[in-house]
């Protein structure tokens, strides 16, 4: 099955029109010594019907959240996705168009970006936001790069309670340009402000904390902010957008840059993506921001319209002097987030956040009551928490999968955390009391 409309007759007519006898005449520029001498070694073509069957079987081999009760989080979450999102974002006009290089015929996408930017600024309490980043981890790395260029300092400090993938991504990005990265241990589930104070130096560009952090715990943000700014460094906060329905905004805490994974806003987990990262900052950093930004303007008839703007930051203009290399990002996913926030609204976001609080605290209390289980950290948490388990957490997760339960994340999979008996459990608004009770009962079998 190919998607080529032209027939042999069409091709013959075209070749005749340009005076060639075969397509081979157009390939004479490809020397023989680099030519492939046979067909590619790939499986033979499938009809659309066969494709449905083959891939349907493949999908059915997964223990996905449509068949299992999922308590897996760790940066992506099984939040409810309202039906309108898929129907609207699936419209060809949004789905198949490209970057709005011709704004006169791209106002739908451009106004969507402007609305997205506004919503991200509302959520984060910061002044400017861009059109999207790849994901939370790469957005965090870009924040570190911005902090370096804005401060002229070459050292980045991360709380050890930041998502391990974010830490690893920052390290990967930091290597080439020679940025020094230090991770501070958080044995009590959050960064100790005194430890941070002792680690800060006058060459520290920024401190990166996650709030709620990878363990689900809240950080001591007010104290951390004082320490960071006292040393002249920038404060970068990675945040869960759903938490911002009840938890204070990064702007109100005094953050300079806020980033995060936006999947929770109307995007499926989709085995890791595509979702979106978001990036917001104080207005003084706007000319150093990575990524696309839309701005409002008018056309010749003074009608409101939107364009991509501040492009002198970007790779297609500045090339090797650009603030980032980002080009294609996650526009459709950002649109889905925008539609989600429109549907859920001011009250709805608070309600989702509160449901997460109620359900996760109910689950945590019940699990902590089980023989052999205890909460790992004595700190406030939002929708996710770590329990120490009486049996190996990896073993528990494997066994509970047979009961249709995805029990959480074995923290032993992240050696850098040095927690071998920790199970990270996420409870979103989507989990019912019956599912939570089933999880508690199943965990109880290991007591």
Partner 1 sequence: MSEPLIFELSSPGRRGVSLPAPDVPVKPVSSYLPDADLRATPPGLPEVSEVDVVRHYTRLSTLNYHPDRAMYPLGSCTIKHNPKVNEDMAALPGFARLHPMQQDETCQGGLQLMYELSRDLAEIAGLEGVTLQPAAGAHGELTGLMIMRAYHEAHGHARRKVIIPDSAHGTNPASVTLVGYETVQIPTNAQGLVDTGQLAELIDGETAAFMLTNPNTLGLFESEIRTIADIVHDAGALLYMDGANLNAVLGITRPGDMGFDVVHFNLHKTFSTPHGGGGPGAGPVGVRSDLVRFLPTPVPVKDGDAYRFDYDRPDSIGRVRGFGGSFGMMVRAYAYIRANGPDGLRQVSENAILNANYIMRRLEKCYPRTVLVHGTQNETPIPAEVPCQHEFVASGTRFREHGVRMLDIAKRLLDYGFYAPTIYFPLIVPEAAMVEPTETESKESIDRFIDAMTAIAEEVENDPDLVRNAPHTTPVGRLDEARAAHPKTLNLRYRKSLAE
Residues 95-134 that bind partner 1 (CB under 8 A): 95-109, 111-112, 114-115, 117-119, 121-123, 125, 127-129, 131-132, 134
Q: Does 193 bind partner 1 (CB under 8 A)?
A: no
Q: What is the Cα 433 distance to its own chain's centre?
A: 28
Of 304, 372, 441, 447, which one interacts with partner 1 (CB under 8 A)?
A: 304
Residue with tokens 């929770």: 264
Burial of 380 (C-beta count, 10 Å sphere; 0-12/13-18/19+): middle
Closest separation in Å from C-beta 161 to partner 1: 15
Tallying the residues shown for the chain, one arrives at 447
Chain positions 366 to 395 lying near partner 1, rule: CB under 8 A, are 380, 382, 394
Distance CA 419, CA 356 (A): 25
**What is each CA distance from 88 to 82, 106, 266, 344, in whole angstroms?**
11, 16, 12, 15
Q: Does 8 bind partner 1 (CB under 8 A)?
A: no
| 50 Cβ contact partners less than 8 Å away, ≥ 6 residues apart | none
Site track for partner 1 across 195-224, x = CB under 8 A: -----------------------x--xx--
Q: Does 18 bind partner 1 (CB under 8 A)?
A: yes
Using CB under 8 A as the binding criterion, the count of chain residues that bind partner 1 stands at 212
Chain positions 330 to 369 lying near partner 1, rule: CB under 8 A, are 330-333, 335, 338-339, 341-352, 354-355, 357-359, 361-362
**Nearer to partner 1 among residue 108 and residue 185 (C-beta):** 108
Q: Does 418 bind partner 1 (CB under 8 A)?
A: no
Range in contact with partner 1 (rule: CB under 8 A) among 72-80, 154-162, 202-210, 384-392: 72-80
Which tokens in the block code for residue 381? 């948490």
Is there a contact between 413 and 346 (Cβ–Cβ < 8 Å)? no
Chain positions 249 to 288 lying near partner 1, rule: CB under 8 A, are 249, 252, 261, 268-274, 276, 283, 286
Q: Give the three-class secondary structure for 304.
A: strand
Distance CA 270, CA 33 (A): 42
Q: Does 447 bind partner 1 (CB under 8 A)?
A: no
**Nearer to partner 1 among residue 388 and residue 431 (C-beta):** 431
Distance CA 291, CA 288 (A): 10
């Amino acid at each position: 099955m190919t998607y080529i409309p032209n027939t042999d007759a069409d091709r013959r007519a075209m070749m005749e029109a340009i005076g060639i006898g075969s397509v081979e005449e157009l390939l004479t520029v490809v020397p023989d010594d680099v030519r492939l001498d046979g067909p590619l070694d790939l499986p033979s073509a499938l009809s659309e019907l066969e494709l449905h069957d083959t891939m349907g079987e493949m999908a059915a081999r997964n223990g996905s959240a449509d068949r299992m009760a999922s308590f897996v989080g760790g940066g992506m979450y099984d939040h409810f996705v309202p039906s309108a999102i898929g129907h609207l974002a699936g419209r060809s006009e949004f789905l198949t168009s490209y970057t709005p290089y011709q704004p006169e015929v791209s106002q739908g996408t451009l106004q969507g970006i402007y609305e997205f930017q506004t919503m991200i600024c509302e959520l984060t309490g910061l002044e400017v936001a861009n059109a999207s980043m790849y994901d939370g981890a790469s957005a965090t790395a870009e924040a570190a790069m911005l902090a370096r260029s804005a401060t002229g300092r070459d050292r980045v400090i991360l709380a050890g309670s930041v998502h391990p993938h974010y830490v690893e991504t920052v390290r990967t990005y930091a290597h080439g340009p020679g940025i020094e990265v230090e991770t501070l241990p958080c044995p009590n589930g959050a960064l100790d402000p005194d430890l941070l104070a002792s680690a800060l130096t006058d060459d520290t560009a920024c401190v990166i904390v996650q709030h709620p952090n990878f363990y689900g715990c809240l950080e001591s943000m007010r104290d951390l902010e004082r320490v960071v700014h006292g040393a002249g460094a920038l404060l970068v906060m990675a945040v869960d957008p759903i938490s911002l329905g009840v938890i204070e905004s990064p702007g109100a805490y005094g953050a300079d840059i806020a980033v995060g994974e936006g999947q929770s806003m109307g995007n499926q987990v989709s085995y890791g993506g595509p979702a979106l990262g978001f990036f917001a900052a104080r207005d003084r950093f706007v000319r150093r921001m990575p990524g696309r930004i839309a701005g409002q303007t008018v056309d010749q008839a003074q009608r409101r319209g939107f364009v991509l703007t501040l492009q002198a930051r970007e790779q297609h203009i500045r090339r090797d002097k650009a603030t980032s290399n980002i080009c294609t990002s996650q526009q459709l996913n950002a649109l889905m987030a925008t539609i989600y926030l429109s549907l859920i609204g001011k009250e709805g976001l608070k309600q989702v956040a509160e449901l997460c609080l109620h359900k996760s605290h109910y689950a945590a209390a019940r699990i902590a009551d089980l023989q052999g289980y205890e909460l790992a950290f004595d700190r406030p948490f939002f929708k996710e928490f770590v329990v120490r388990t009486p049996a190996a957490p990896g073993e528990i997760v494997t066994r509970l999968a047979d009961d249709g339960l995805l029990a959480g994340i074995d923290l032993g999979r992240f050696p850098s955390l040095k927690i071998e008996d920790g199970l990270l459990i996420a409870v979103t608004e989507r989990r019912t009391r019956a599912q939570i009770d089933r999880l508690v009962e199943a965990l109880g079998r290991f007591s």
